[in-house]
Amino acid sequence: MSESELAQLFTTDEYKSDYFRFQVSGFDVLVKNELLAEALNAFARKGNATLSFCPTSLDMSDAEIAELLNVVRTTVFRHRKSALAKIKQYLEEKQMMNTVRKSENLLPFPVISAAANGDTTAMCAILKHYEGYIAKLCTRTLKDDAGNTYSYVDEEMRNRLQVRLITRTLAFHVG
């Protein structure tokens, strides 16, 4: 079967909940990529106005954006280029933070150091790294009246261990 024939045999449902929604200059911009949405969210939380010049997903030219924002085209170009560079840098840093030396199963020191200095992305990397271990520590076994055995993760215990890990990481100091 050709790809076009195969494509006719299925559909993909898309829901609003599959997207992250951003307001850019009065327009709704939907982003499906979770990592990109996280980067945009990080800049939005910092009040980074540069991202308002980055509505490339709106299929608008620099001239159209300039007219909409009442600025010159070169300003839009410069701000868009700057915003895309910042997003790229954020994504590269995020990728570095998610890189764990698999052979030794250790977190890289820069991740620990960044987390100790309050970097939320690095802290998330640490929590992700220990996620399985914490779940194992919090797994409880129950038996019902019929003798069936059930395992579950004690969420209260998991939350307490995660808070303790965060607290200890923030208290970490080198030398």
φ, ψ for residue 21, nearest 5 deg: -105, 130
> What string of pLDDT tens digits covers the 175 residues of the chain?
677 776 677 667 777 777 888 776 676 777 888 888 888 777 766 655 545 545 454 567 888 878 877 889 898 888 888 888 888 888 877 776 666 544 457 788 888 999 999 999 999 999 999 998 899 898 988 888 888 888 888 899 999 999 999 999 999 987 6
Tell me, what's the pLDDT at 166? 94
pLDDT tens digit sequence for 22-48: 776 676 777 888 888 888 777 766 655
Task: Tell me, yes or no, if the pTM score tops 0.85.
Answer: no
